[in-house]
Structure 1
């Protein structure tokens, strides 16, 4: 299995314009879960061939330790450019993921899936452990109404992302700082991701981040997304990455709570107890499941879980 592609964690997916070799090179110095080299919105029509060549060159370079996943955002299937994009970038030896924009119907993902199987049969044969994954962007009313079918359209679907700007355009919505106008769409995306066991639910891009005030706004917006159930966020500038990845990582307090529960639950299980208490609160199967998920994510995020397990090894179920 290719390094960086084995486990899916996308606290942040950062878009980098494919037409700028300078930005592409700079991105290789970052520490970020997922970089999406962009062939869509940030690349003008005349620059598309150059963008493909630039991205292919980067994908054929040795991996860098700071980037877990190398993705490419292709042009929409409906644009007629997607096949040219895929024909070039699927030659890249270190491609992990495709971000597919404007997925309005299941057939968009059927098309990408068919191309993957045709161009890279060895990675997409039955039982293959390292296929190119797909993140589908929800950008329209049609997409939202067809989420159920879209989520079942490809075995390689690994994430859903909310593209707020195009969604606003489609529905004549005015975006406000509180994001209340997107409540239905954001909730629908998170719910669909959970229902179909899709690992990533990526919240909208934040356009504000400069200066202390911008940083605080980005943090608040990221925390809002986490409360909604998103487990990551799309970013458009390297300065956004650390704030976003920090918010979508388990906090020290969360991780300690989870470790204590997992340790005590093993002991409760051995005693035949299905429910018990910790800090005066009842702990049962759903709470233990949540705690195990937090511990697993903390490990992926590089937290020293083993030290916490040692610290709380004597935790007992009450």
Structure 2
């Protein structure tokens, strides 16, 4: 049984075509926070049944240690194919996450949750509800206007994903390198996720992935998304994963600053100081909480926080 997925760190979500045995086999060699076997856009209609079978076979194999979470992107509720997808993949005890596309309203997620409960049965559902999560793709104007209801639809929901291409189609937008046409939507998604305590916010796919220029564009998009508050990004090629995981992890200087703040704050507290100074800048409660959050995230990324605390144990508040 998988461990609890509450507050799971998801930086890179890599899609793997579900209809390709070759790509499914290659997925075992990947290193990623979350690999999502795709039954939706990468699978043609006449290949859906075969893709379900192949994905189920892949899920039934023990997970490699380099993959932290195995997901399946099912077809949308509107497509009429979601029930068949769920009936197949939910049979695998190794499934950790359902990526649900085209979530236009809360009813889409209510349907998914009801099917999960009915398929698994009450006892199994109770056992697996902490190790099974949902990530919802926001792809339309309807999705955006219903974000609050979507975020409250099910306790299984653990994050929101922005699908830029379908959103651009719905609003008749033209994607530009600056991505400014998506600024409102991306900000709304991050804000709603934070307001409802959802741990994962996954930014749009970068369509460039070939060569040095593709990686430059990818890194630029990652840094822009991180600035907006996203904590992860969708990937469509394995070469994108390393850049995404690196950029969305706390930077070395950021982690050291956080450790210094927390160490010094402990000493300031013992002195009865609610606000103090570090490197000439005021530090108060919100700044300390931000530092603690950075430390928690860094620890999930494998940073030796204990070692850094030892290094900065003599840090004093100014």
**Structures share fold, TM-score greater than 0.5:** yes
The DSSP-based 3-state class of the residue aligned with 1:244 is helix
Structural mapping, 1:139-154, within 5 Å:
139-154=139-154
Number of the residue aligned with 2:37: 37
Q: What is aligned with 2:125?
A: 124
Which moved further from structure 2: 59-68 or 112-121? 112-121
Question: Counterpart of 1:175?
Answer: 175
Residue of structure 1 equivalent to 2:15: 15
CA 1:100–1:129 in structure 2 vs 1: closer, same or farther (change >3 Å)?
Answer: closer
Give distance in 2, aligned partners of 1:101 and 1:21: 23
SS in 1 for 2:166: helix
2:213 and 2:20 mapped to 1: Cα distance? Answer: 29
* Aligned-pair CA distance for 1:131: 3.8
Given that residues 5 and 68 in structure 1 are in contact (C-alpha distance below 8 angstroms), is that contact kept between their aligned partners in structure 2? no
Q: Which stretch shows the higher mean deviation, 128-137 or 271-280?
A: 128-137
What displacement does 1:4 show?
8.1
- 1:220 maps to 220
The corresponding residue for 1:198 is 198
What is the CA-CA distance between 1:317 and the residue it aligns to? 1.4
Larger CA deviation: 262-271 vs 73-82:
262-271
TM-score, with structure 1 as normaliser: 0.97
**CA distance in 1: counterparts of 2:123 and 2:271, whole angstroms:** 48
Q: Distance in 2 between matches of 1:111 and 1:129?
A: 16
1:140–1:170 CA contact under 8 A, matched in 2 = yes
Aligned length: 317
Moved more, 261-270 or 191-200: 261-270
Contact 1:267/1:317 (8 A) holds in 2: yes
Which residue is equivalent to 2:81? 81
Deviation at 1:128, TM superposition (A): 6.3
Deviation at 1:270, TM superposition (A): 2.2
Does structure 1 residue 166 correspond to structure 2 residue 166?
yes
Q: Distance in 1 between matches of 2:6 and 2:195?
A: 22
Equivalent in the alignment of 2:229: 229
Instruction: Please state how far the C-alpha of 1:129 moved relative to its aligned partner.
Output: 6.2
SS at match of 2:29: coil
Distance 1:160 1:4 in 2: 18
Specify the SS of the correspondent of 1:13. strand
CA contact (8 A) 2:160 2:193 kept: yes
For the residues of structure 2 that align with 1:112 and 1:6, how far apart are their CA atoms? 19
3-state secondary structure, aligned to 1:94: coil
Query: Could you tell me how far 1:290 is from its partner in structure 2?
Result: 0.8
Q: Give how far 1:28 is off.
A: 1.5
Q: Which runs of 5+ in 1 are unaligned?
A: none
Contact 1:123 1:132 in 2 (8 A): no
- Is the alpha carbon distance of 1:201 and 1:123 closer, same or farther for their aligned partners in structure 2, counting shifts above 3 Å? farther
SS at match of 1:273: coil
Correspondence for 2:155:
155
Structure 1 segment 238-249 matched on structure 2, within 5 A: 238-249=238-249
> 2 CA distance for matches of 1:191 and 1:80?
31
Asked whether 1:46 is paired with 2:55, we answer no
2:63 is aligned with 1:63: yes
Give the distance between the partners of 1:273 and 1:43, measured in 2 at CA.
60
The answer as to 2:198 corresponding to 1:189 is no
Once superposed, what is the RMSD of the aligned Cα atoms? 1.4
Q: Is 1:278 paired with 2:293?
A: no
- Return the offset for 1:181: 0.4
